[in-house]
Amino acid sequence: MVIRLDAVFAALADPTRRRIVERLSRKPLSISDIASEFPLSQPAISKHIRVLEEAGLLKRTIAGRVHYCTASPQGMQKVASWVERQRREWDDALDRLDRVLSTPSHEKRKP
């Protein structure tokens, strides 16, 4: 499965889906177990599960009539990598700005 960063961020934009991911990071749960914590209908929870599944944030297995969900770390790893790259770029830019601002003004005016 190809994990698209846009799909992961879109899935995580919803607070209900973030809570589902948080719960699944602790242990696998059935969709019924997940739904029991939310004041939403079963179809609404199933839609959230589908969005998370399509984004690569969870995997679903079926045993009889019960659907079980487990966290899929690949999607979160992709987000973590992107955030880390952005952090490094911002740190580098801020370090350069700090060097410029800490240079005495008479050194900046070279002919």
Query: Among 93, 95, 59, 101, which residue's Cα sits nearest to residue 76?
Result: 59
Inside any domain, residue 2: yes
Inside any domain, residue 48: yes
pLDDT at 16 over 90: yes
pLDDT at 106 over 80: no
Question: In the chain, how many H helices and how many E strands?
Answer: 6, 3
Summarize the confidence of residues 60-67 as an average pLDDT.
92
Inside any domain, residue 50: yes
Inside any domain, residue 109: no
Angle ∠(4,10,45) on CA atoms, nearest 5: 110
In whole angstroms, give the CA distance from residue 57 to residue 1: 11
Task: Specify the pLDDT at position 53.
Answer: 93
Residue 52 sits in a domain of what CATH number?
A: 1.10.10.10
Domain holding 1, by residue range, is 1-102
Summarize the confidence of residues 23-38 as an average pLDDT.
92
Inside any domain, residue 30: yes
> Is the model more confident about 60 or about 106?
60
Question: Is the separation of the CB atoms in 38 and 82 below 8 Å?
Answer: no
In whole angstroms, give the CA distance from residue 108 to residue 100: 9
> Is the model more confident about 40 or about 80?
40
- Give me the number of domains the chain comprises: 1
Would you place residue 110 in the very low, low, confident or very high pLDDT band (cuts 50, 70, 90)?
low
Summarize the confidence of residues 47-62 as an average pLDDT.
93
Q: What is the chain's mean pLDDT, rounded? A: 87
pLDDT at 2 over 80: no
Inside any domain, residue 42: yes
Inside any domain, residue 110: no
Task: Specify the pLDDT at position 107.
Answer: 65
Is residue 28 classed as helix, strand or coil in its secondary structure?
coil
Torsion of CA 16, 18, 19, 24, to 10 degrees: 130
In whole angstroms, give the CA distance from residue 34 to residue 66: 12
